[in-house]
Amino acid sequence: MAKDNKKMVEQITSMDVDFAQWYTDVVKKAELMDYSSVKGCMIFRPYGYAIWENIQKDLDARFKALGHENVYMPMFIPESLLQKEKDHVEGFAPECAWVTIGGQNKLSEKLCVRPTSETLFCEHFKNVIQSYRDLPKLYNQWCSVVRWEKTTRPFLRTSEFLWQEGHTMHETEEEAREETLRMLKVYEDFYLEALAIPAVTGQKTEKEKFAGAEATYTIEPMMHNGVALQGGTTHYFGDGFAKAFDITFTGRDNQVRYPHQTSWGVSTRMIGAIIMTHGDDNGLILPPAIAPIQVVIVPIAQHKEGVLDKANELYDRLKAQGLRVKLDDSDQSTGWKFSQYEMKGVPVRLEIGPKDMENNSCVLVSRVTREKKFVSLDNLEEEVKAMLAQVHDELVARATANRIDKTSDATTHEEFLSIAENKPGFIRAMWCGDSACEDQLKDETGGVKSRCIPFVEDHLSDVCVCCGKPAKHMVIWGRQY
Amino acid sequence: MAKDNKKMVEQITSMDVDFAQWYTDVVKKAELMDYSSVKGCMIFRPYGYAIWENIQKDLDARFKALGHENVYMPMFIPESLLQKEKDHVEGFAPECAWVTIGGQNKLSEKLCVRPTSETLFCEHFKNVIQSYRDLPKLYNQWCSVVRWEKTTRPFLRTSEFLWQEGHTMHETEEEAREETLRMLKVYEDFYLEALAIPAVTGQKTEKEKFAGAEATYTIEPMMHNGVALQGGTTHYFGDGFAKAFDITFTGRDNQVRYPHQTSWGVSTRMIGAIIMTHGDDNGLILPPAIAPIQVVIVPIAQHKEGVLDKANELYDRLKAQGLRVKLDDSDQSTGWKFSQYEMKGVPVRLEIGPKDMENNSCVLVSRVTREKKFVSLDNLEEEVKAMLAQVHDELVARATANRIDKTSDATTHEEFLSIAENKPGFIRAMWCGDSACEDQLKDETGGVKSRCIPFVEDHLSDVCVCCGKPAKHMVIWGRQY
């Protein structure tokens, strides 16, 4: 057993020196993305897109297991359609991209490139919902959306991004509210089980909720540097959109009613969350469940007789287990290969050379701990799977420890401001329920906002940390990407 | 064994009465699509989108098996980028949708919503190709594209559609040309093996080739009514784009060279091809490989003791085989269920009732032949798989017979015009190679165009069917959607 903590990848800026630059270095050097000449838009390179494909495959199966069906709506929304729900259009119109010319002619009505598709779904729901027998409608869509952003950062905030948007319609308020929380739980489980990210969940305050929603719930992972990322949201709409779009159904009691609606979404921003939660100074660390390459096989002294044959044999054995394996038998040096897959965050490296072959063994190296383990080839499959599971568990443990370490309680206004200034991370503090206090704290701290009201609140004090009036909720606060 | 050819689904117009109306009825009644208020765009409903998902899954695996990697490019193309390749912009600019406003401001440069992504790929290739070691680049993208169409028809021609576009770069012309033909073969195999469509393949004439391509190849399935559909194309670009975008690489000989490029694509139009190739007066008939439901289980007298239990048991057994099965135990009548799944084109229906249970058997019904087969439950899995394979084979045989029946040879100008007027389908005829003759034949016939020059040409006569000059090629001609 050996451990090696030296920095292997020199071209990446250290996190402690400049976290933003570290992030930019990683996304470029690990070949996740490239910039394009289109302002605010990015290119997903094969390695970055493969992560998204693995995310899609896993999430899509979770959605379908709960009865959701995929559909595809047009990418354009006529201006009049977007305007049908007042709060919604106010929320989104400022960041829309508008098509005004089609086929060389000025359009009589301009078309918004969808920033989200509630209005399109509602227009369709009106056509396909007549009776309670048509409910629930549990729809999901994988697509790209556009929101014109002033400042952008790869994966975290781009003018175009990829996402899924669930849109459901239900007979009763109760069922719709259940769906909203059920899908939040799906996200929470996915973050933990697939992304190895233990995230906080809870309800957004009135001020922070989605345009047109009655209630918004959120999943808020904390990045390594203590900054939060809004990792996904679910919304309960009540029957507001249904009324605006005149969607009705005949109930079991023969009365005409409005259905109750939800929507929920997560995006390619999750790739940013993976990078910033798990990465280190040597680059990416990818959770095994979504890693495009789970195991990289690096032959040692590959010119020696039998080494490549053996490496290929091990490749086939692991491949047969359904693992995503890569054998790098290129003419690059062993050192280059080690550093390359380190940077790309491959969870487990397998080394096989002449000496290992003599011992009927190979070496497994964990990307997280860098622990080297000599394992018998007789147990190869089990050992590799065990190390992958271990990588996952260690990532969860590390991220959990980081979150606990970077979460502070504030019971007074001064304490809140002091923590906000001096210690990056989440602040737990009581709140009166007034959005004026949210505004004030954000102004005073230069950006600390309410992340959510968690489902389980502790009683830290009796009064709002800002105004001193009686507290209604414990809120988790933090800066965000 | 029984046979039943009566028309079960009365709400669908007969093909012979009005083929266009039959098509519209089928796409609506089988719940494949819905119209939206966005001109020229359509909504993919769950059943229609599920067909596309099955197509994607199959094709994606074929691409990846050949080493292709998926990427994602921005959906916008700045006007100046689109203009970099002259022929290309001339081909596409007339049908572009243009974004001119973003975030409430007029853009300094308008952005085209991608009609195809050659220009975006080239811009990226310039960044990532330096040496022969970086080649080949075998990229593919699944996305939606927009081409402003005047007259639209669901799946066949819509202003927005879903597709895949492969874009590859190669060291040599030979390798790129091979890729162009290799991907055409992938499409041909896919059409036959997954869609049960035996299509004609060949090269497009100069007049019909893609904007900016040196050579375009095509797959041309024939619809039931004899009209052709351009079912997919592959293009060899030479180094035209590479030169326009200044993409170079250092070769093995240390010389700086331009790489050779291809692109290739198929779209949701394939769903239209499936409908119009296989459908009948009772609605859809779906090839088993891409059918969202391969087997529907309809319990007979389901209120009788044990029937639903047995139906569920059979459901589990077929599901365990990886088959896509649906058990309809709703309170709709048996007749309604038969007609519903008939219309939706489910390849095999399984009926199970008290009498069948007594005999330890069930009834399988083929959607194509309507043949009823009593099978022992002991061999259920094998029998169902056999019938699915049989459905596939019968669809291929039927479509092949239709194509042969609707293909005619013309050796004189009069004969060509007479066939074009009187017999729908393909016409095989010799051609001099001059596009003036293509124009003339199209004008004279009101729309018969060259489909392709097939890879194996017969020698039907010595002279062009139009001008009488010496013939260069045998061309397959036909009307198209």
Q: Tens digit of pLDDT for each residue in A33-76?
A: 999 988 899 999 999 999 999 999 999 999 999 999 999 999 99
Question: Tell me: the pLDDT tens digits for B230-272?
Answer: 999 999 999 999 999 999 999 999 999 999 999 999 999 999 9
pLDDT, position B218: 98
Question: Tell me: the pLDDT tens digits for A228-284?
Answer: 999 999 999 999 999 999 999 999 999 999 999 999 999 999 999 999 999 999 999
Compute how many other C-beta atoms are within 10 angstroms of the C-beta atom of residue B397. Answer: 13
Q: Are residues A36 and B98, on separate chains, in Cβ contact within 8 Å? A: no
Distance from CA of B438 to the nearest CA of A (A): 26
Strands B260-267 and B160-170 come out as antiparallel
Using a CB-CB cut-off of 8 Å, the residues of chain B touching A37 are 78, 81, 123
pLDDT band at A4 (very low <50, low <70, confident <90, very high): very low
Using a CB-CB cut-off of 8 Å, the residues of chain A touching B340 are none
pLDDT, position B39: 85
Give the residue from A204, A262, A212, A207 showing the smallest Cα distance to A230. Answer: A204
Share of chain B above pLDDT 90, in %: 93
Do B344 and B283 meet the contact criterion of CB atoms below 8 Å apart? yes
User: What whole-number distance in Å separates Cα of residue B274 and Cα of residue B276?
Assistant: 6
Joined tokens for residue A120: 């399109």
Q: Mean pLDDT, to the nearest integer, of B424-440?
A: 97
SS3 B459: coil
Question: Tell me: the pLDDT tens digits for B27-77?
Answer: 999 999 999 988 899 999 999 999 999 999 999 999 999 999 999 999 999
Name beta bridge partners: B249: B257
B108: nearest CA partner in chain A: A39
Contacts of B281 (CB under 8 A, 6+ apart): B7, B9, B12, B14, B15, B22
Q: Mean pLDDT, to the nearest integer, of B121-130?
A: 97
Q: Are residues B37 and A69, on separate chains, in Cβ contact within 8 Å? A: no
Distance from CA of B401 to the nearest CA of A (A): 35
Distance from CA of A101 to the nearest CA of B (A): 5
Mean pLDDT of chain B: 95
User: What whole-number distance in Å separates Cα of residue A448 and Cα of residue A478?
Assistant: 5
Alpha-carbon separation of residue B291 from A59, B50, B327 (angstroms): 22, 8, 15
Touching check for A49 and chain B: CB below 8 Å? yes
B330: nearest CA partner in chain A: A133
| Partner A, chain B 265-294, Cβ-Cβ below 8 Å | none
Q: Does the pLDDT at position B275 exceed 80?
A: yes
pLDDT, position B3: 38
A49: nearest CA partner in chain B: B71
Side chain identity, residue B165: E
pLDDT, position B9: 53
Q: Does the pLDDT at position B4 exceed 90?
A: no
Residue whose structure tokens are 């594209």: B145
Q: Are residues A38 and B104, on separate chains, in Cβ contact within 8 Å? A: no
Side chain identity, residue A354: P
Touching check for B42 and chain A: CB below 8 Å? yes
Alpha-carbon separation of residue B10 from A44, B41, B336, B435 (angstroms): 49, 28, 12, 46
Q: Are residues A43 and B101, on separate chains, in Cβ contact within 8 Å? A: no
Q: Does the pLDDT at position B103 exceed 70?
A: yes
Joined tokens for residue A153: 């950062």
Side chain identity, residue A71: V
Q: Does the pLDDT at position B172 exceed 50?
A: yes
Q: Does the pLDDT at position B435 exceed 80?
A: yes
Q: Are residues A146 and B75, on separate chains, in Cβ contact within 8 Å? A: yes
pLDDT, position A77: 96
More confident residue, B443 or B9: B443
Joined tokens for residue B410: 């013309």
Do A285 and A341 meet the contact criterion of CB atoms below 8 Å apart? no
Q: Does the pLDDT at position B114 exceed 80?
A: yes
pLDDT, position A479: 97
pLDDT, position A241: 95
Q: Distance between the two ends of chain A, CA-based, in angstroms? A: 39
Q: Does the pLDDT at position B418 exceed 50?
A: yes
pLDDT, position A212: 87
User: What whole-number distance in Å separates Cα of residue B184 and Cα of residue B230?
Assistant: 13
pLDDT, position B10: 60
SS3 B193: helix
Joined tokens for residue A436: 């004026």
Candidate from A49-58, A80-89, A204-213, B436-445 with smallest mean pLDDT: A80-89
User: What whole-number distance in Å separates Cα of residue A365 and Cα of residue A374?
Assistant: 9
Joined tokens for residue A72: 């595809």
Q: Are residues A124 and B52, on separate chains, in Cβ contact within 8 Å? A: no
Q: Are residues B110 and A127, on separate chains, in Cβ contact within 8 Å? A: no
Joined tokens for residue A351: 């080394």
DSSP-assigned states of every residue in B284-302: ----GGG-S-SEEEEESST
Q: Are residues A41 and B74, on separate chains, in Cβ contact within 8 Å? A: yes
Give the residue from B267, B264, B218 showing the smallest Cα distance to B118. Answer: B264
| Partner A, chain B 68-127, Cβ-Cβ below 8 Å | 69-78, 81, 93-104, 110-111, 113, 120, 123-124, 127
Q: Mean pLDDT, to the nearest integer, of B18-31?
A: 97
Do A252 and A308 meet the contact criterion of CB atoms below 8 Å apart? no
pLDDT, position A90: 87
DSSP-assigned states of every residue in B303-370: TSTTHHHHHHHHHHHHHTTT--EEE--SSS-HHHHHHHHHHTT-SEEEEE-HHHHHTTEEEEEETTT-
Distance from CA of B152 to the nearest CA of A (A): 14
Do A58 and A194 meet the contact criterion of CB atoms below 8 Å apart? yes
Q: Does the pLDDT at position A155 exceed 90?
A: yes
Distance from CA of A207 to the nearest CA of B (A): 22
pLDDT, position B6: 46
pLDDT, position B367: 98
Q: Does the pLDDT at position A93 exceed 60?
A: yes
Strands A97-102 and A105-113 come out as antiparallel
Compute how many other C-beta atoms are within 10 angstroms of the C-beta atom of residue B443. Answer: 10
Q: Mean pLDDT, to the nearest integer, of A197-213?
A: 95
**Nearest CB to B99; choose among A81, A97, A124:** A97
Q: Judge residue A438's burial from the number of C-beta atoms within 10 Å of its C-beta, 0-12 exposed, 13-18 middle, 19 or more buried.
A: buried
Using a CB-CB cut-off of 8 Å, the residues of chain B touching A72 are 43-44, 49, 52, 144, 162
Side chain identity, residue B270: M
**Nearest CB to A34; choose among B42, B75, B127:** B127
Distance from CA of B193 to the nearest CA of A (A): 24
Using a CB-CB cut-off of 8 Å, the residues of chain A touching B43 are 71-74, 120, 124
Contacts of B229 (CB under 8 A, 6+ apart): B156, B220, B221, B222, B223, B269, B272, B273, B276, B480, B481
